[in-house]
Amino acid sequence: MKLGLSDLKTERQCRAAIGMDKDRFFKLLEAFKQSYLYIHGMRLKEKQVDNGIGYCINSEEELLLYTLFSLKSGLTYDLLGLVSGMDASNAKRNQDAGLAILGKALSTLNCMPKRNFINIKDFESYFADAEPLIIDATEQAIVRPSDKAQQKSCYSGKKKTNAKSNDYFNGIENNKVY
């Protein structure tokens, strides 16, 4: 991958690129590695096949960095691929893979928030005792899926727009970012 953790020289750069400092990154990386092993049954290096082409992401560290960067930057898949050294379809595929592993890692660390609510009352009761909460949602434009059910789930409500929503929740008091 073109961007490496060693390229992030200051804490400010780390927070701007991945939303956390290097200490938190390495703590999350341990859970991420275990989650990768749990989901795939082997390490990333072991899973890669020697095909002579080469891979853009060569370790769990690079996959976590890429995943966090993709969420933090909000770039389209074309631009994300450009800055990461891959095409748009691989940018999406790698982000999806990283998100699945990140979700498992955050669940393991008991940091994964509830993602689905049945109705408004369910949402309100879940957050009834919570401190003030900041919600930041970003939509990423995606290619319109061919399957009707997937089209409905990806439709943003805006005219002729299909998008994937990236939601970030930040508890002010405990400074947790999801």
Question: What is the full per-residue pLDDT of the chain (178 aa) written as tens digits?
Answer: 788 888 999 999 999 999 999 999 999 999 999 999 999 999 998 888 766 667 889 999 999 999 999 999 989 999 999 999 999 999 999 999 999 999 999 999 988 877 788 888 888 888 888 777 666 667 777 777 788 887 777 666 666 666 666 655 555 444 444 4
151's tokens = 């089209």
Cα Rg, the chain, nearest whole Å = 17
Which 3 state secondary structure label does DSSP give 7?
Answer: helix
Q: What is the pLDDT of residue 133?
A: 64
24's tokens = 């938190």
* DSSP element (H, E) containing 165: strand 163-171
Q: What is the pLDDT of residue 115?
A: 76
Q: Which residues contact 155 (CB under 8 A, 6 or more apart)?
A: 161, 162
**45 vs 23: CA distance, rounded Å:** 24
Q: Which amino acid is at 36?
A: Y
Predicted model pTM: 0.69
**Please, how many CA atoms are within 13 Å of residue 12, restricted to the half-sphere of its CB?**
0
Helix ranges restricted to H, the chain = 11-18, 22-40, 44-47, 60-73, 77-84, 88-108, 120-126, 148-154
Q: What is the pLDDT of residue 176?
A: 47
CB of 172 closer than 8 Å to CB of 105: no
Q: What is the pLDDT of residue 167?
A: 57
Q: What is the pLDDT of residue 161?
A: 66
Which 3 state secondary structure label does DSSP give 83?
Answer: helix
